[in-house]
Amino acid sequence: MRYICQVCGYVYDEEAEGVLFSDLPQSWTCPMCKAPLSMFAPVETEEKATIQEEPVSFDGDMQKLSAGALAALFSNLARGSEKQYMEKEAGLFRKIADYFTLVSANENPDSSELLSISNGNIEKGYPDAKAVAAKHGDRGALRACTWGEKVERIVKAVVEKYLSEGEDFLADTEVWVCSICGFVYVGNEPPAICPVCKVPDWKFERIV
C-alpha cells in the first residue's frame, strides 16, 4: 500500500520502505514537510500495468528484435512522449513496454554470466558499434555508445567488487543510478554531477 501526504504530496510506499504504515510510531512525521501521520491518506490502488494474471507469450520469429530489446524500445518512446508533455501516449507506450518486459526470454541468474556479457561489451560490443557510428559520421550513435561503454565499465567494476567483498560492500550505503545515462554509484549521497553524462545530482535515482 502507498500513503500520500495531503500537505506536500510525499508518498510513503510500504513495499519500498519495508515497514507497514500502521507500524510507524505516532511520533513519525512526513520526511518532506513534517506533517503528522494523521495527514496521510491511502493512495487509491492504481490498475497494475502488467497483465500477470493472463497467460502471455511472445513469438520471437515474427520480430526483428527480441522481447527484451522491444521493451527498451517502447519504454524509450514512453520517455520521448513524456518529454513532449504527452502523458496519455507515455502511459500507452509504457503498457506495451511492460508486456515485452514480462515476456522477455529467461536468462541464467548467474553473476559470472553477467560479467562475461559486460566484458564482451567493453572489449568488442561497444568498440565495434562506435567504429560503425564513426565511419558513418553518426555522432548521436557515437555519443550513446561512448556513454554506454563508460557505464559498462562501472557495472563491471561494481559486480567484481561485490564478488570479492560480498554483502560488506553494500552494508551501510545507498546505491544510485543516473536516470539519464545509467551510471551506477555506490555511496550515501549521489555525486554532484554525473561523471559520465554531467547531469546534476537530482537526476540520480536511489535504488530501494
Partner 1 sequence: MKRIAVRNLRLCTKDCLCLYVCPNGATDTENSIIDTGKCIGCGVCADACPSGAISMVPVEYPPQQKKEDEVVAAMNRVVESKAREEKIARTIAENTDKPGLRKLMKAIERSARLSAEDVIREAGFMLPQSGNSMNLLSNLVENSPGKGFPSDAASKLLSSLKCNDGGFIGASTGKRKYRCLLCQAVFEVEEGEEPVCPMCGAKGKDLEIIG
Could you tell me if residue 40 is left (phi over 0), alpha (psi between -120 and 50 degrees) or otherwise beta?
Answer: beta
Number of neighbouring beta carbons within 10 Å of residue 119? 13
147 near partner 1 (CB under 8 A)? yes
148 near partner 1 (CB under 8 A)? yes
Q: What angle, rounded to 10 degrees, do the helices at 111-120 and 139-165 form?
A: 150
C-beta of 29 vs 107, nearer to partner 1: 107
Q: Report the distance separating Cα 130 and Cα 200, nearest Å.
A: 26
Work out which of 15, 44, 47, 167 binds partner 1, going by CB under 8 A: 167
3 near partner 1 (CB under 8 A)? no
Work out which of 3, 12, 30, 151 binds partner 1, going by CB under 8 A: 151
Indicate the DSSP class of residue 137. Answer: T
Q: Report the distance separating Cα 89 and Cα 79, nearest Å.
A: 10
Q: Which of residues 58-97 bind partner 1 (CB under 8 A)?
A: 58-59, 62-73, 75-77, 79-81, 84-86, 88-89, 92-93, 95-96
C-beta of 29 vs 207, nearer to partner 1: 207
Choose the binding region for partner 1 from 30-38, 39-47, 165-173, 187-195 (rule: CB under 8 A). Answer: 165-173
- 142-153 residues labelled b (16+ CB within 10 A) or e (exposed): bebbbbbbbbbe
132 near partner 1 (CB under 8 A)? yes
5 near partner 1 (CB under 8 A)? no
207 near partner 1 (CB under 8 A)? yes
Q: Which of residues 175-194 bind partner 1 (CB under 8 A)?
A: 175-184
C-beta of 39 vs 117, nearer to partner 1: 117
Q: Give the shortest CB-27-to-partner 1 separation in angstroms.
A: 26
Longest dimension (CA), the chain: 64
CB 20 within 8 A of CB 14: yes
Q: Which strands make up the sheet holding 11-13, listed edge to edge? A: 11-13, 2-5, 40-42
C-beta of 27 vs 202, nearer to partner 1: 202
171 near partner 1 (CB under 8 A)? yes
